[in-house]
Structure 1
Amino acid sequence: MASVSDVAEPEVPSPEQGGPVDDSQQVSPDLLRAWPLPQPNGTKYARGLVLVVGGSATTPGAAMLAGISALRVGAGRLTLAVAGSVAPHVAVAVPESGVIPLPETDAGCVAGGGAGELLARELERGDAVLVGPGLSDPEGSLQLLTEIAPLIPRETPVVLDAFGLTVLPDADDDTRAALAGHLVATPNSGELARILGEDEVDDVAAAVVEAARRFDAVVGVDSFVASGDRVWELPVGDTGLGTSGSGDVVAGAVLGLLGRGAGREQALVWGKYLHAAAGDALSLRFGRVGYLAGELPAELPLVLRSLRGD
């Protein structure tokens, strides 16, 4: 297991319980430099074993983007668990990764039905787990989450994204209890509304705080990250980040930092900042729009180096 940084987190004002968020810690390069990441020393095992579970037959790229992003921020060893029909192709496309084929429906959607048994060893020894990128069916995603949640050790942080997260309110009490206290959530604003049972979210900051409390999680949406009553506000990046696959890069970056030993709050704050800064760097080369999510991961280690996060 990668070691967790013993550097104290910055003090953050606490909003009133249940009320609006009036105070938040503004995230800047200076704040991040004063909150250094664990140093990526040693072998690939010392830098963290990370697992991405997702990648249905029609959307394997989401899991691949997340996994590559995890490696780009310093994770040591990557395993991708994807639909069985595309697993050989993913293994060729991402030679840096081990690949586990998962059960799938006739439509190519990843489902449960034995996934827990296939993933048990990786879940037991992993330093961080991400569930969601590329999952394409809510029923199968819920079955998958129900199978694997009890197998994840309490000390292992779990990132839920996309369908891996939006099915959480429909999960049984045992599944939700198995994830509480070591959960990180990376929804977009629509997914945030879904997990809170709302049609839409008017006050994102207050809704992020509510989701963090309700699911005993660290939650990041748009420019806000919340953990209990602690709130951070980040630069959100320019409009070019609103592109297909961009959210998978965020989730993967957070996963990789967790694998390195960062705490949940630190990993999400740093991960979202790196994503925004990577987009800024690409906008200087391509313009405000037009760059691809697949071009973001290569920028992540450059931003890390500028912040002395390597």
Structure 2
Amino acid sequence: MPNRSDTRVITPGLLRDWALPVPTGGKEARGTVLVVGGSRFTPGAVLLAGVAALRAGAGVLQLAAAESTAAALSIQVPEALVVGLPETADGAVAGRPGELLDELVTQADVVALGPGLKDIDETGRLLRLVLDAAGPETSLVLDAYALGALSHAPDLLVGSGRPVVLTPNLTEARHLLDRKPGDDLDAEATELARRYDAVVSLYGHIATPDGRSWREESGDAGLGTSGSGDVRAGLLAGLLSRGAEPAQAACWAAFAHAVSGQRLVPRFGRIGFLARELLDEIPHTLATV
């Protein structure tokens, strides 16, 4: 396992030397992001992730969320195609939503699964549906309950060769590791990347299955706010959509997430800004690296 000294610190200089693709042409050249998530009670997670993907440069946005929330989401995010998915009696997205979701997954360049989902069993069914329908080149971002579902099937991605990024918080990392994470998050991210055969972004600690690792050091306490993780997952999906490879997208997303928070500090202080306020800072942060 790499020593902490082997982990590269993410700086503007590092990112400038690892420049993001700049697609030319129409919106199709910047890819299609599909966000699958939400519940009757948490539609905002899908909104935050979807808008973050657009702010990061995705060309086309599609949202698939609980049926009862679809109309409201379509009004709040007029830029997106919004599809309602069947719900359980408790308001969770049902795990057998039918051919329409299959078609959307098949056509997407990036699928972000997890923001706002509830019910681990239904999410597990959704995860398998997405993996079955997605092409081998489709990039996947797994967040929130999708990570819990993955922890119940730890070999699901191993050997698949899929471009996948996992975005756990510490609670989700505990489920994925089947133990409490230690203090060395560089090492924990590396273990997760190897165990699940995917790029991992754990609170700004990024690792790949082949042992490369990076660390973002400018994130502050203000990012620990409701919905912040949804913004990070969508930001990552948007960068993948415009052509970044998974480790590159994870490093850029960690930096842009942290620095967008820093940009809000003069107005709101170190804590007190909202996740939705990060969204408008993303394009400028990316443009001024």
TM above 0.5, one fold?
A: yes
The normalised TM-score by structure 1 is 0.89
CA distance in 2, matches of 1:222, 1:172: 21
TM-score normalised over the length of structure 2? 0.95
Q: Which residues of 2 match residues 120-199 of structure 1 at below 5 A?
A: 120-171=102-153, 175-176=156-157, 181-199=162-180
Where do 5+ consecutive residues of structure 1 fail to align?
Answer: 1-14
Hey, what does 1:261 align to over in structure 2?
Answer: 243
Q: What is the root-mean-square deviation of aligned Cα atoms in Å?
A: 1.6
Distance across 1 between alignment mates of 2:157 and 2:265: 40
Question: Which deviates more from structure 2 when the two are superposed, residues 28-37 or residues 145-154?
Answer: 145-154
Match of 2:68, SS? Answer: coil
Deviation at 1:118, TM superposition (A): 2.0
Does structure 1 retain, via aligned residues, the 8 Å contact 2:200–2:207? yes
Q: Contact 1:149 / 1:178 at 8 angstroms: preserved in 2?
A: no
- C-alpha distance in structure 2 between counterparts of 1:114 and 1:35, whole Å: 39
1:285 pairs with 2:261: no
Distance 2:21 2:84 in 1: 32
**Residue type matched to 2:163 in 1?**
H
TM-fit CA distance, 1:172: 7.8
Of stretches 146-155 and 177-186 in structure 1, the one that deviates more from structure 2 is 177-186
For residues 135 and 159 of structure 2, the distance between their equivalents in structure 1, rounded to whole angstroms, comes to 9
SS of 2:87's equivalent in the other structure is coil
Measured after TM superposition, the shift of residue 286 of structure 1 is 1.2
Q: 1:195-234 counterparts in 2 under 5 A?
A: 195-228=176-209, 229-234=211-216
Q: Displacement, 1:297? A: 0.8
- Counterpart Cα distance in 2 of 1:85 and 1:247: 23
The answer to whether the Cα contact below 8 Å between 1:71 and 1:78 also exists between their aligned partners in 2 is yes
Aligned 8 A contact 1:72 1:300 in 2: yes
Structure 1 pair 82–151 and aligned structure 2 pair: CA distance change class (3 A): same
What are the residue-to-residue correspondences of 1:297-308 with 2, within 5 Å?
297-307=279-289
**Counterparts of 1:199 and 1:73 in 2: how far apart (Å)?**
33
Match of 1:252 in 2: 234
2:39 aligned with 1:48, yes or no? no
Q: Does 1:241 align with 2:209?
A: no
Task: Tell whether the 8 Å contact from 2:154 to 2:196 is kept in structure 1 after alignment.
Answer: no
3-state SS of the aligned residue for 2:29?
A: coil
Secondary structure of 2:25's aligned partner: coil
Residue of structure 2 equivalent to 1:272: 254
SS at match of 1:99: strand
Deviation at 1:99, TM superposition (A): 0.7
The runs of 5 or more residues in structure 2 that have no matched partner are none
Report the alpha carbon displacement of residue 36 of structure 1 after superposing the two structures with TM: 0.6
The residue aligned with 1:102 is 85
CA–CA distance in 1 between the matches of 2:129 and 2:60? 23
Q: Give aligned pairs, total.
A: 288
CA contact (8 A) 2:112 2:140 kept: yes
Tell me: CA distance 1:223–1:148, structure 2 relative to 1, closer, same or farther (3 Å).
closer
Matched, 1:93 2:82: no
Determine the C-alpha separation between the residues in 2 that align with 1:155 and 1:146: 16
8 Å CA contact retained: 1:241, 1:276: yes
What SS is found at the alignment partner of 2:280?
A: helix
Aligned to 1:119: 101
| Equivalent AA in structure 2 for residue 94 of structure 1 | V
| Pair 1:23 & 2:6 matched | yes
CA-CA distance at 1:180 after TM superposition:
5.2
Residue 268 of structure 1 aligns to which amino acid in structure 2?
Answer: A
Contact 1:157 1:183 in 2 (8 A): yes
